[in-house]
Amino acid sequence: MNSPNEANEELRIGLVSISDRAASGSYQDQGIPALRDWFSAALAPDTPWRMETRLIPDEQAGIEATLIELCDDAGCHLVLTTGGTGPAPRDVTPEATLAVAHKVMPGFGEEMRRISLNFVPTAILSRQTAVIRGRSLIINLPGQPKSIRETLEGVKDAEGKTLVNGIFAAVPYCIELIGGPYIETDPAVIKAFRPKSAIRPRPGTENTA
């Protein structure tokens, strides 16, 4: 019988872009295309995955309903939101995220702000957070493609050496701990970290010594 986090289980990712203008068609969404491109590069070829996308306005009830649907009905292991995390009156993504949470994961928000402060002083205005709902990890990301990439990958020097780890380094192990699939990444983009005891050999390398 396969375990719930069998290595070849398909990773299901929910992407939610939260924007009044984009949802109304007056502005072209950039968050979902940026995330689609990033995952295409960041996930290893032997990690099967698919995504569910949603484009919705800044309405707390609608955000909550979308997050619940992606976690409970679509079975997404990871749900990423973009937009709606600032101090403006219409920015209610963190409130909606916390409302559907079973557990709060404050370290993600702390690290996202620390990363972004390397680039812009207004990062302290962000209220991004992360939570667990059932067997799903929900993370609030920024809305701009450049900021999304920086948050996920971290801070690198001119030679590409990582100075500050991006938050995605911790995501695969977190998903595994809550019952999701084993995820491999391309270390040239982001290296997933997990304890040595949790590392599995890549296919075809089990008997090499």
**pLDDT higher than 60, residue 205:** no
Residues in CB range of 205: below 8 A, 6 or more apart: none
Torsion, Cα 4 9 195 43, to 10 degrees, reads -150
Quick: pLDDT tens for 114-148: 999 999 999 999 999 999 999 999 999 998 899 99
Average pLDDT, the chain: 91
- CA 192 to chain centroid, in Å, comes to 13
In 3D, which of 146, 129, 149 has the Cα closest to residue 137? 129
Instruction: Please report the beta strands in the chain, taking only residues with DSSP state E, as ranges in sequence order.
Output: 11-18, 49-56, 78-82, 103-104, 130-133, 136-141, 154-156, 162-165
pLDDT of residue 5: 47
- Structural domains of the chain ordered from first start: 11-192 (3.40.980.10)
Record the pTM. 0.91
pLDDT of residue 7: 52
**pLDDT higher than 90, residue 159:** no
pLDDT of residue 204: 61
Q: Distance (Å, rounded) from C-alpha 15 to C-alpha 77?
A: 11
Quick: pLDDT tens for 61-91: 999 999 999 999 999 999 999 999 999 999 9
pLDDT of residue 203: 65
